[in-house]
Amino acid sequence: LNKKTLKLNGSGTPISVGGAIVTAESTIEYNSTAAQNFPQPYINYVNVTINDSSGVTLVDNITIPGMISILKGDLNLNGRIITLSETGSLSETPGNTIIGNSGYIVTTRNLNAPVNLNVAGLGAQITTNSNLGLTEVKRGPGVQTLPEGNQAVRRWYAIKPVYNTGLNATLVFHYDESELNGNVESKLSLFKSTNAGISYETNGGIVNIAQNTVTQDNINSFGRFTIGNTLGISLIMEGFYNVSTNNLNMRDTVRVYLRNASAPYAIVDSSKKVLDSLTFRASFQFSNAASGNYFLQLKHRNSLETWSKTAVAYVMDSVINYDFTFAAEQAYGNNQTLKGTKYCLYSGDVNQNGLIDLTDVILISNAASVFTTGYVNTDVNGNKIVDLTDMLIALNNANKFVTKQTP
């Protein structure tokens, strides 16, 4: 088959070969409306086209030196491995992708300071000034488990270069909308694992819905990556928020109380979690609360107590989703402050009495005068140093006569 295309349109195993089919520079196309299997013995595959609305299932490991084109239907890895040689590549169309609960497609390339390189078309686009050396890139369709048991999209990448420190790299994670697996596209975040997917930590990232990408820069080392949603309550402490980096200066503990929806608004349950500095979110779990509607009461060590604008629906043994950060009115009495583009809890209530006043300012001033450092309430901006910056945050809010607002 010299530079020709052989179209196979039978179902199941559509061809039986007794000798060998030599396919130099040629293409084997699986072209049918019935499910087909691939590969078949005694065919020297170079280029493969999937054009089968019922999909094609991989039944053995295979190495491909040319192009795998998925035009119609999916290619189910079925727990097998596709190796793309140094000249091999993958091309997909929207809604027609690599699928399966396990298996992966892999290639190994020498990467020297790549710029926007979509390695072998697998969808992991890398930029770095560093020489990565011989780099293995895997892509799998299996769903990864994220923190708090959340499920990621149906795609992951494992990037393993010889040189893997101090990279300052950018990764553009490409995905297909058919892979979202129930995740909200606008709230996708990049997650990284350094232990082959046993556990993940969030890396944040910028979502481009039009391009179906999540981009993360300042990556110092590669590992295994996936994307998904982190369910939970989102909030930002004014002093901790760094507008230029769009991060918190540190992760910190927040307690959320569930309170009844009617007076006297009794406490039903509480949960304490560490707020992520990149996503501003934590998954608070309330094991003692029945399904119902509850106010959320936020407590942080030097922020003003803040309540949700209304009672929020809760389903027993689930995770509440609520975002305080996108509008002042997400808080009861609009009791938040705008910093950059995010709405934040007022900072400076270091004695936790429900108002920010001169008493708080004096406490911070006294701590600053003796050069206090470490994890202390008077460190209003979370840099572990008490100084004039902390005092000015509290003073500014004291001048506004800021107090807690409750039902």
304 φ/ψ angles, rounded to the nearest 5 degrees? -75, 135
Class of domain 231-407 as given by CATH:
mainly beta
Per-residue model confidence as pLDDT tens digits over 329-376? 999 999 999 999 999 999 999 999 999 999 999 999 999 999 999 999
210 φ/ψ angles, rounded to the nearest 5 degrees? -65, -35
Report the helix count and the strand count for the chain, using DSSP H and E: 2, 36
- Bridge partners, 343 (sequence order): 338
Q: Residue 167's Cα: distance from chain center in Å?
A: 20
**In this predicted structure, what is the pLDDT of residue 246?**
92
Q: Do the Cβ atoms of 226 and 155 come closer than 8 Å?
A: yes
Residue 147 has pLDDT above 80, yes or no: no
More confident residue, 231 or 407: 407
DSSP SS3 for 120: helix
Per-residue model confidence as pLDDT tens digits over 389-401? 999 999 999 999 9
Half-sphere exposure in the Cβ direction for 341 (13 Å, CA): 4
My answer on whether omega of the bond before 264 falls inside 30° of 0, hence cis, is yes
171 sits in which H/E element:
strand 169-174
The set of residues, in sequence order, having a beta carbon less than 8 Å from that of 344 and lying 6+ positions away, is: 235, 236, 237, 238, 241, 325, 336, 337, 338
**E-assigned strand segments in 205-311:** 206-208, 213-219, 224-228, 233-234, 241-242, 247-248, 252-260, 267-275, 281-282, 292-299, 306-307
Half-sphere exposure in the Cβ direction for 177 (13 Å, CA): 10
Residue 3 has pLDDT above 90, yes or no: no
User: Rounded distance, CA 218 to CA 247, Å?
Assistant: 13
**In this predicted structure, what is the pLDDT of residue 16?**
78
Residue 20 has pLDDT above 90, yes or no: no
DSSP SS3 for 326: coil
DSSP SS3 for 190: strand
User: Rounded distance, CA 318 to CA 332, Å?
Assistant: 23
pTM: 0.68
More confident residue, 150 or 27: 27
Share of the chain above pLDDT 90, in %: 82
Average pLDDT over residues 233-259: 96
Average pLDDT over residues 296-312: 97
Sign of CA dihedral 193, 198, 201, 203: positive
**In this predicted structure, what is the pLDDT of residue 21?**
80
Which CATH entry fits the domain spanning 101-230: 2.40.300, 2.60.220, 1.10.3110, 3.90.550? 2.60.220
Quick one: tokens of 279?
Answer: 């996503």
Per-residue model confidence as pLDDT tens digits over 375-386? 999 999 999 999
**In this predicted structure, what is the pLDDT of residue 81?**
99
Q: Do the Cβ atoms of 407 and 295 come closer than 8 Å?
A: yes
Sign of CA dihedral 354, 356, 362, 365: positive
DSSP SS3 for 187: helix
**E-assigned strand segments in 261-385:** 267-275, 281-282, 292-299, 306-307, 312-314, 322-323, 337-339, 342-344
User: Rounded distance, CA 277 to CA 282, Å?
Assistant: 10
Place of tokens 């390339």: 109
pLDDT confidence band for 118 (50 / 70 / 90): very high
Residue 148 has pLDDT above 70, yes or no: no
User: Rounded distance, CA 273 to CA 252, Å?
Assistant: 8
329 φ/ψ angles, rounded to the nearest 5 degrees? -70, 0
**In this predicted structure, what is the pLDDT of residue 150?**
80
**Helix 358-369 crosses helix 388-399 at what angle (to 10 degrees)?**
170
